[in-house]
Structure 1
Amino acid sequence: MAKLVRRTLALVAHDLKKDEMVEFARTHRTILARFNLVATGTTGGRVLAACPELSLTPLKSGPLGGDQQIGALIAEGQVHGLFFFVDPLSPLPHDVDVKALTRLALVYDIPMALNASTAHMIVGQLVD
């Protein structure tokens, strides 16, 4: 009999989108509880504070390599969906992070949400 493996989702949010990510996690905590979660440091800490029952592993903070850690997990086939709440009005240094993670999600053909509206739609599909 094959062992069921829980799929993994990644959560990332720019500074001005962290509250939105926390609210997304609160709203969908029952569905997210079916998955292993990884997140960049601050985002993961905030989500865990709001939803301590989730199986979430915080990685390094984005600027300290957390985005690259998630990218490596995507490339290794260990992340099956990316929820990256991007602040389109933030300074350009974040642009490199957005491009790197979105490129990997596209290359490895995993679902990706860059805003809350898309994230809600993807989570709705996970229920089916």
Structure 2
Amino acid sequence: MADRSQNAPLRLALVAHDAKKDALVSWVQAHARDLTKAELFATGTTGGRILDLLPDLNLTRLKSGPLGGDQQLGAMICEGRLDGLFFFIDPMSPMPHDVDVKALSRLAIVYDLPFANSPSTADFVLRGLIADHTAG
């Protein structure tokens, strides 16, 4: 997890492939109470869809994933500016920017960043991050 002040909000990244955007938006809506306390970053379209539904979230929209948003998140991981990555990946669809997806996944692993790829995993990761944040 990133180094930061104990009083600072959790900093979380939200990304989803096209076929998984609905699932991520639904997951964010279900966890809105906890996520209102976090500083959120999302790639372009995903962030727009979330803000359309939940405009009061503290969410910064980055570029679309294939247009540089994945790299923006990668830089944030390298700089220790994120506490968790929620990337809902669609394993059944072709990925035109597969190298970007692999690079982002690789960075999350290299920097030991909590990383969730599905709603059930995201539930556990978020609970763990919140517990760690409040205990610390």
TM (norm. structure 1) is: 0.92
Deviation at 1:112, TM superposition (A): 0.1
Deviation at 1:3, TM superposition (A): 7.5
Alpha-carbon separation, structure 1, partners of 2:8 and 2:42: 19
In the alignment, structure 1 residue 7 sits paired with structure 2 residue 10: yes
Alpha-carbon separation, structure 2, partners of 1:83 and 1:56: 14
The equivalent of 2:48 in structure 1 is 45
Deviation at 1:116, TM superposition (A): 1.2
In the alignment, structure 1 residue 117 sits paired with structure 2 residue 109: no
Alpha-carbon separation, structure 1, partners of 2:118 and 2:57: 21
Aligned partner (choices 19, 23, 27) of residue 24 of structure 1: 27
Cα pair distance change 1:3/1:27, threshold 3 Å: closer
Q: What is the RMSD of the two structures over their aligned residues, measured on CA atoms?
A: 1.5
The equivalent of 1:57 in structure 2 is 60
- Unaligned 5+ segments in structure 1 are none
The equivalent of 1:68 in structure 2 is 71
What secondary structure, in the 3-state scheme, does the structure 2 residue paired with 1:57 have?
A: strand
Cα pair distance change 1:17/1:30, threshold 3 Å: same
Q: What's the % identity of the aligned pairs?
A: 57
Alpha-carbon separation, structure 2, partners of 1:108 and 1:126: 16
The equivalent of 2:134 in structure 1 is none
Matched letter for residue 37 of structure 2: R
TM (norm. structure 2) is: 0.87
In the alignment, structure 1 residue 108 sits paired with structure 2 residue 111: yes
Deviation at 1:121, TM superposition (A): 1.4
- Unaligned 5+ segments in structure 2 are 132-136
